[in-house]
Every structure is written in C-alpha cells, then in structure tokens.
Amino acid sequence: MLCRGVKVEGEAADSGSQTPGTLTELTRWKAPPDIGRRYARVSGDYNPIHLSTPTAKLFGFPQAIAHGLWNKARTLAALAEHLPAANIEIDVAFMKPVRLPSEVILMSSAAGSSGTLELKGAGDIQHMLGQWQPTA
C-alpha cells in the first residue's frame, strides 16, 4: 500500500555531502500533464500518483507528480554532452516531487569527470540533487 507521512525506523541514508560549487543553468523543459501515463506505458509502473490528479489525490497529493526515474532519465539525457562517455557513477537524491504540469530547470557544474547537478522548479524548489564521478 502507498502511504504518505509514514515514519520508517532507523537512520536516514546519507545522500552524500554535495558541495555544488558553481552551478549554472544548462537547460529547462516542461513536464507535460500526461508524462506519468506515458512513462507508465514504457516502464510498466502504473503507480496512481503519477497517472492523474484524481488518482494522486487519493494518496494525499494535490495533483499528479512526475516519476522520479523519469526526472533522472530526462536529466541524464540533457547532460549527455556534459558527462564522460563511460565509467561514471551517478547518484541522485529526490527532494520534492515535480507536480504535473510544470517547468523545471537543470543546473549543473562544468562538464568534466565529476560534478554536481540540481533539478529545480518555480520558486527555487529543489526537486533533485545529484553528482557524478568516475567509477572505482
């Protein structure tokens, strides 16, 4: 069952101390109102919080939200020319959901073997923080 506001026992996982340095806007895009349904068709993940506002409201959300892995995939596609071609590890932490529809802004450090990223929305809402680095 899906529930909001449930407290899980134990310590929260450390998402890594991210020191973003200088982040600049790389690009921005619109998350369309139907992206949750489109993502469900290709992923097989039909979680109701992503499908429509009425089904999202059943689980305490004011409207449908974009799937976190869609946000990550869309971000990595936008970073394609920014990242090394191979042997990198990319970690992200999901902060606040991306409500549908909305526009998001991808902020990134300079291209290179390691760096940081931030996906944010209106009012500087942090949706996702991340970093990339060479694999060990």
pLDDT digits (tens, 9 = 90+) for 9-26: 766 655 444 454 699 999
Q: At a CB cut-off of 8 Å and minimum separation 6, what does 81 contact?
A: 111
Q: What is the pTM of this model?
A: 0.83
Q: At a CB cut-off of 8 Å and minimum separation 6, what does 53 contact?
A: 62, 63, 64
The reported pLDDT for the residue numbered 57 is: 98
The reported pLDDT for the residue numbered 15 is: 46
Domain extents in the chain: 24-32+66-134
